[in-house]
Amino acid sequence: MKFLKSLFYAFRGTVSCICDQRNMRIHLVVGTYVLYFSQFYHLSTERICILWLIIGIVLALELLNTAVEKTCDAITREQSELIKIAKDASAGAVLVMSVVAVIIGVYLFFDMKTVWRIISFLCNTPEYLTFFILSMLVSSVFIVVGPRKFVENIKERAELRKQLDNMNEKKEKR
């Protein structure tokens, strides 16, 4: 039972980070696209495992960065040089790994023939191009707005509609 609770808490922490941290959403979206487009490269099992590992490390570091920032904020909101260094260093860890991930990505994926094959595939298959464009739009909203704010906006609009409906019903009864 303790194991299941710990899994629940870990999942809750990950979801909370995704909902609250724009950079986590960016890493998640980029990682998803990288994994999707990697299928066009016919990578070996080892290289696919390296991709998963690198994406996992970037996401894990973003989780740790959020943990450091939240812990520092819980300790004090006052200006502190040590807190600033801790927050900057944890953000720097994510940056360093992200740059390394990009360098490895360029090494694995810089093949203009395959890039043109992907572009040609998308352009010659309207349904995939449409799906890709829609996925980019949804991904952009996911990154910028985030799932929590999106749901809150939907709830606010529903409440406003209820209020308007109630007002209209009252007017009709008069």
The set of catalytic residues is: 62
As a whole number of angstroms, the distance between CA 18 and CA 24 comes to: 6
Per 3-state DSSP, what percentage of the chain is helix, strand, and coil (rounded to 5)? 90, 0, 10
Nearest to 119 by CA among 37, 43, 55: 37
DSSP 3-state of 44: coil
- Residue 155 structure tokens: 């709830």
Position of tokens 């303790």?
2
- Cα gap 29→112, rounded to integer Å: 23
**157 C-beta neighbours (distance < 10 Å), count:** 10
* Residue carrying structure tokens 């829609």: 134
Provide the Cα torsion 64, 45, 134, 11; round to 10°: -30
